[in-house]
Structure 1
Amino acid sequence: MVGIAFTGCNSLDLEPISSIADNKYWQTEAQVDAFNVGLHSKFREKCSYSIFLFGEPRADYYFGESTFGSATQGNERMWNNSLNDVNTVVSNFGNLYEVINQANLMINKVEGMSMNESTKKYYLGEVYGIRAFLYFQLLRSYGDVVIWTDFSEGSSLDLGNLARPASSAADVMKLIVDDLQASETAFGG
């Protein structure tokens, strides 16, 4: 029989070396600028095609069959207006909520930072405008949608309670208008 004794180990109580850890991030304008660049990149990567699908194919520009003579992969449901809960073409709300969550994170962190006021207002003007645009895309495509203005951290999610009711289209429009006003106020004249 082998006995093993465990003793306290203080060598595991280390501070992160990386400057990206949350307690070390959101300290400088350069970090905000880097996050802003990443937000714009994520916006283009995750949302561009979905926003295209939300609008162009449903605007009577396309009809009948694929323009390129290849399979439409179900996209004909867009221009034929035959979308339903089984055949949505765009899943996961086009990944717009992923970018909205990042915008919410930036709003939360930048509003509480002490930095050059004009730079701070510039970033807030941009991010409120992005969030308004994304909610507008959700509103025009789905109508009633979930409004989420807090950022979600993986460690703070209650996995047993993720469902949220959709807000009315009127409430979504109010958020869009409020975000546009916040953007205009931040940008100033």
Structure 2
Amino acid sequence: MKTTLNQYIIRALFVLSVIGFGACESFLDLKPTNSLLADNAVYDAKTSRALVNAAYSRLKSYTISPAIILAVIPADNVFFGGSLSQYLELDNNAFTVTNSAIVDAYRSNYSLINTTNWAISEIPKVTDESFAAGEQNKLVGEAHFIRAFAYFSLGRSWGGVQLQLNPTTDLSSLGNIPRSTQAETYAQVLADLNTAEQLLPDDDNTTRNLVQRAIVRAFRAKVYLYTQQFDQAETEATAVINNPKYELVKPYNAFFQAPFLTKESVFEISATTNNSGTSGSPWFLASGTPRGSYEYRPTNEIITLLNDPAKGGGRNALIATRGSDTYGNLYHTTSPNINPAYVIRIADLYLIRAEARVRKATPDYAGAIADLNAVRSRADAELFPTGNIDRAAILQAIWDERRLEFAFEADRWYDLVRTEQAETELGVSRNFWLFPIPQADVLADPDLGGENNPGY
């Protein structure tokens, strides 16, 4: 199936390039074949920018839908109220090798990776004086970050995966890519983030929807948390928290009110009336205004927690009530849909640092509690007792805080797996903490050896 996927990517990039630049003679001279000719397709600053823009577009497509579906529906904050079998399977933690939502997410990441592989490979070869100073490096740095994001998504969802690091030029370039371990996959993520940081220019004080060095450090803190490198996670999170560009905004719902892009957002992928974002439709009730399909429904447990002033505080803004029904209110617009994708917020950095401070070799309980209470204070929730130095209690409080703070964002399922709570909280055995690799890929790709993840 990889062959079919990469052929699609190649043709899609060709179409994007033609649409982006009109009747450019050198593009019209290209013959659509099974491969994108590197020395013709990316040949100047304009085509280089288009290629990275295509990567951002694919990143946005993933973050506004598949990322949320995989993180939210299998967990305990939302249940699926519709009839589509692929989502019912996710909701019941009955993951199958042919589940179309899982297949789409898996292949979307590889589509994104191949786009960035082209950018990383070809943009450095371009000679064009119309590039702004440092722009060429910046574009390649952005591509490295986006590839890191895709491999992180694959790693935490499927474990070790095949690391395709070169663009698909023809059918012969698809073979001999064995499956890596999860540790090797995360190592590739960190390598890409380190390269991105070196290539990107200094941050500006306003941009939140394009990759910058601070975004790299924020994301690297998260990867270090997943790989249990807690000292490094603390260092990276601290660097972002200390950046005056970011702060916890009040009230809590200020970050998800138009026009968005508040100081809360470290990385937020914007939407416009002409370029829609995360859909609010599945969350809204089927009657009244705004109207939706009401397929993603908050569970009674998360409703109770969010409505508890001591625990939820101002985060009860994440839900709204119409009649006797309660619905999710984070993605609060339908048409025109201008909800952004919240990739990482400064609140995440506080809770990453809090957890890292508890779990590192020499714990800093006071610092962890201060970070936890910074998030609770912003939400007007009850503060954690500063004199409590019970490690297990502090850690559980941080994990519980993550559940509330990011209730409908792309984290809950992965947090339960990462913290090894998926069995106790959801009844899902360890064999099913990773999603299955699509069966068609396993059968068609000899490099996978016919093997899937344990349990499938």
TM range (shorter): 0.7 to 0.9
**Cα offset, 1:43, TM superposition:** 3.2
Structural mapping, 1:1-189, within 5 Å: 18-20=25-27, 21=30, 22=37, 23-45=39-61, 48-63=64-79, 65-66=80-81, 70-87=82-99, 89-91=101-103, 93-115=106-128, 116=131, 118-153=134-169, 156-158=170-172, 162=175, 164-189=177-202
The amino acid that maps onto 1:107 is I
**Cα offset, 1:172, TM superposition:** 0.3
Comparing both chains, which one has the higher relative contact order based on Cα–Cα distances under 8 Å and sequence gaps of 6 or more? 1
Alignment: residue pair count: 166
The amino acid that maps onto 1:44 is K
Structure 2 Cα separation of the partners of residues 53 and 139 of structure 1? 16
**Cα offset, 1:82, TM superposition:** 1.8
- The 1:57/1:182 distance shift into structure 2, 3 A limit, reads same
**Cα offset, 1:178, TM superposition:** 0.3
**Cα offset, 1:36, TM superposition:** 1.9
Structure 2 residue matching 1:90: 3-state secondary structure = helix
Structure 1 Cα separation of the partners of residues 191 and 48 of structure 2? 23
More strand by share: 2
| % same residue | 20
The amino acid that maps onto 2:172 is D
**Cα offset, 1:166, TM superposition:** 1.2
Q: Could you tell me which runs of 5 or more consecutive residues in structure 2 were left unpaired when the two chains were aligned.
A: 1-23, 31-36, 203-456
Structure 1 residue matching 2:51: 3-state secondary structure = helix
The amino acid that maps onto 2:171 is L
Per the normalisation by structure 1, the TM-score is: 0.75
Structure 2 residue matching 1:138: 3-state secondary structure = helix
CA deviations 1:146-184 (Å, max 9, x no partner) are 11001102xx2139x747421000110110000011111
The amino acid that maps onto 1:53 is I
CA deviations 1:114-143 (Å, max 9, x no partner) are 354510121112111100001000011100
Per the normalisation by structure 2, the TM-score is: 0.34
Structure 2 Cα separation of the partners of residues 121 and 133 of structure 1? 18
**Cα offset, 1:78, TM superposition:** 1.8
